[in-house]
Amino acid sequence: MAFRSGKLDRSKLNSLKSRFMKKIVLSALTTLVISAAASAQKGALKTDTISAPTIQCDMCKSRLEPFLKRIDGVTFVNVNPKRKKVYIKYLVDRTNIEVIKASIANAGYDANEIAANPDAYKMLPKCCKKPEDGVGMPKH
């Protein structure tokens, strides 16, 4: 038996120490791998500004911001009707600026060089349409 007068013999004690050390090293490696994997999932964050000349009012803002926030990878959206700009932050490994501009156009608004989708534009409230179409906010 491994006991001699109530004590473990030296070989059993060394075996227990060895197993204990292996568990500590394995736990440390597991923690390291998990933290490395978690940080690898965070792609590069990019900030862009998109010119949106057809954004007219706060209703445009309230329609467009939630729409853009649903795009996978978009982390921040601010539509500024006074400056007619969309400020956006997104993860480059999940989306890109072309997808975002196309989404703005599909919502009925111009985005840089991409014209608004005509069918989506027709669905916008009158205040969100261009003044040159006889509706919308008057030019200042």
Average pLDDT of the chain, as a whole number: 84
Indicate the range of 25-29, 66-70, 111-115 predicted with least confidence: 25-29
For the residues 19-33, what does the mean pLDDT come to?
A: 77
Does the pLDDT value for residue 46 go beyond 90?
A: yes
Share of the chain above pLDDT 70, in %: 83
Domain 45-133 - what CATH class? alpha beta
pLDDT digits (tens, 9 = 90+) for 74-127: 999 999 999 999 999 999 999 999 999 999 999 999 999 999 999 999 999 988
Question: Which pLDDT belongs to residue 49?
Answer: 96
pTM for the whole thing? Answer: 0.66
Q: Map out the domains of the chain as residue ranges.
A: 9-40, 45-133
Helix (H) or strand (E) holding 110: none
- The Cα 12–Cα 116 span in angstroms is 77
Question: Which pLDDT belongs to residue 28?
Answer: 76
Helix (H) or strand (E) holding 74: strand 74-80
- The Cα 66–Cα 15 span in angstroms is 61
